[in-house]
Amino acid sequence: MQSITQHHGRRSSTQLTLKAAFSHIDLQVIPTATGPIDVVDLFCGVGGFSEGARLAGHRVLLAVDSNKSALDAHKLNHPSAVHELAILPAENLRQLLPSAGAKWHLHGSPPCTKLSRAGGTNRSAADRAKGLFLVNWFLDLVAEVGCTTWSMEQVAQEDVLEELAARQKAAPSLYAYHVVNMAHFGVPQERKRVIAGSPVLVSRMQGRADPLRAPRVMDVIPDHPALAVGIKGRRTTLGREWYKKHSKAFQTPVNKIPMELRMKEGGLSRPAPTVLASSPLRWVDATGKTIVTLSLKEHAALQSFPPDYRFSRLSKHALTEIGNAIPPRMAFELMTDWRG
């Protein structure tokens, strides 16, 4: 067993800051212009959306997930919410939702494992159909339950985008969507997803995007290994051709190229590669060789979780919970100054 506060034997503690991810809110709950709204978080996982909505000044009313360890961790961070362990669709869900006429927001992050290419390239038509079933179920639910506003985070795969385009065309007052790079919203990683939701929320979210807001790894995790020049994941590396081009600079006694200028995407002066549930990110040296795996706390920082957020004690569970979550920073951007 390993706590989120442990560090895989590398350092006893790590100085982590979310200044780059939450620079203008200082991790304090922001009062909303129109008052708080109740939030229902389906497929909530460890609570990325719930935490972002809380920081934006809203109340998490109900959280539903089929993963007990993730739901237990959600409960630690959001004890006032009702927590329901259930495999969705669930017959009793309607009984748990706010009553007719109530003002509330519905969010859903249907599992994307069977839709995402990050899980492998061998997804069959049957796999995609299973993944798309839950997306369609949630989108149908939006139209049926009478929530004030809604949102959904999902992988930007062709099947999902085609379905969203069709629904937007058929009901433009209900459905809207936009593919985002979350780094443009202050998330310290190159995480590309589709955010769907009420047109008023999606439109305002689009107006908040700014490539210049992309945080740097060195700002979010200043206490990185001394020899680290970047981060790589399973698919994103520094690359041999890049190393050949700059190898002389690394071999000279006095490095003439500042370290922050040597990086390509994923370096210390850029956002990190996408945090995944299936495999950890790694600190790498100038040759692209792995120095050490990022700690759970560092993964959580790149996902923009507050430093005191609690996860499952088992490392493998915590890594999955962190990688599967919508970054709280993205949820905060969507729900700040909420207008229904």
Task: Please write the tens of the pLDDT for every residue from 167-206.
Answer: 999 999 999 999 999 999 999 999 999 999 999 999 999 9
Pairing state between β 192-197 and 230-232: unpaired
CA atoms within 13 A on the CB side of 303: 34
Domain count of the fold of the chain: 2
Residue 25 lies in a domain: no
Residue 95 lies in a domain: yes
Residue 77 lies in a domain: yes
Q: Residue 104: which pLDDT band, with cuts at 50, 70 and 90?
A: very high
CA atoms within 13 A on the CB side of 169: 6
Does residue 203 sit in the same domain as residue 255? Answer: no
The answer to whether 224 and 260 have CB atoms below 8 angstroms apart is no
pLDDT of residue 34: 62
pLDDT of residue 232: 87
Across the strands, what pairs with 272?
A: 189
Does residue 274 sit in the same domain as residue 191? Answer: no
pLDDT of residue 24: 45
Q: CB under 8 Å to 28, separation ≥6 — which residues?
A: 55
CA nearest 79: which of 121, 118, 124, 47? 47
Residue 13 lies in a domain: no
Does residue 329 sit in the same domain as residue 286? Answer: no
Per-residue pLDDT tens digits for 52-89? 999 999 999 999 999 999 999 999 999 999 999 999 99
∠ Cα 110 111 117 (to 5°)? 125
Quote the domain boundaries for residue 230. Answer: 217-313
Q: CB under 8 Å to 77, separation ≥6 — which residues?
A: 46, 47, 50, 51, 309, 310
Does residue 122 sit in the same domain as residue 44? Answer: yes
- Tokens 């442990």 -> residue: 6
Per-residue pLDDT tens digits for 214-248? 999 999 999 999 999 999 876 434 444 444 454 44
Residue 340 lies in a domain: no
Residue 3 lies in a domain: no
Which of 19-33, 59-73, 111-125, 321-335 is predicted least confidently?
Answer: 19-33
Report the distance separating Cα 197 and Cα 152, nearest Å.
Answer: 6
Residue 116 lies in a domain: yes
Does residue 173 sit in the same domain as residue 58? Answer: yes
Does an H or E element contain 82, and which? strand 82-85
Provide φ and ψ at 164, rounded to 5°. Answer: -65, -40
Does residue 203 sit in the same domain as residue 276? Answer: no
> Could you tell me which residue, 124 or 25, shows the higher pLDDT?
124
**Percentage of the chain lying above the pLDDT 90 cut:** 66
Does residue 250 sit in the same domain as residue 205? Answer: no
| Inter-axis angle of helices 328-335 and 199-208, nearest 10 | 110
CATH number of the CATH domain containing 145:
3.40.50.150
Tell me, what DSSP letter sits at residue 135? H
Peptide bond into 271 cis (omega under 30): no
Does residue 180 sit in the same domain as residue 47? Answer: yes
- Residue 163: count other Cβ atoms within 10 Å of its Cβ: 19
Tell me, what DSSP letter sits at residue 184? G
Across the strands, what pairs with 180?
A: 193
pLDDT of residue 242: 43
Phi-psi region of 314 (alpha: psi -120 to 50; beta: other; left: phi over 0): beta
Tell me, what DSSP letter sits at residue 63? E
Does residue 155 sit in the same domain as residue 263? Answer: no
Does residue 59 sit in the same domain as residue 43? Answer: yes
Residue 107 lies in a domain: yes
Helices marked H in the chain: 48-55, 68-77, 93-96, 125-145, 158-170, 199-208, 217-220, 240-251, 296-302, 315-324, 328-335
- Cβ burial of 251 (10 Å; 0-12, 13-18, 19+) is exposed
Does residue 139 sit in the same domain as residue 176? Answer: yes
Report the distance separating Cα 312 and Cα 298, nearest Å.
Answer: 15
Does residue 163 sit in the same domain as residue 99? Answer: yes
∠ Cα 13 226 20 (to 5°)? 65
Q: What is the pTM of this model?
A: 0.82
Q: Residue 114: which pLDDT band, with cuts at 50, 70 and 90?
A: low
**Residue 309 reports pLDDT greater than 80:** yes
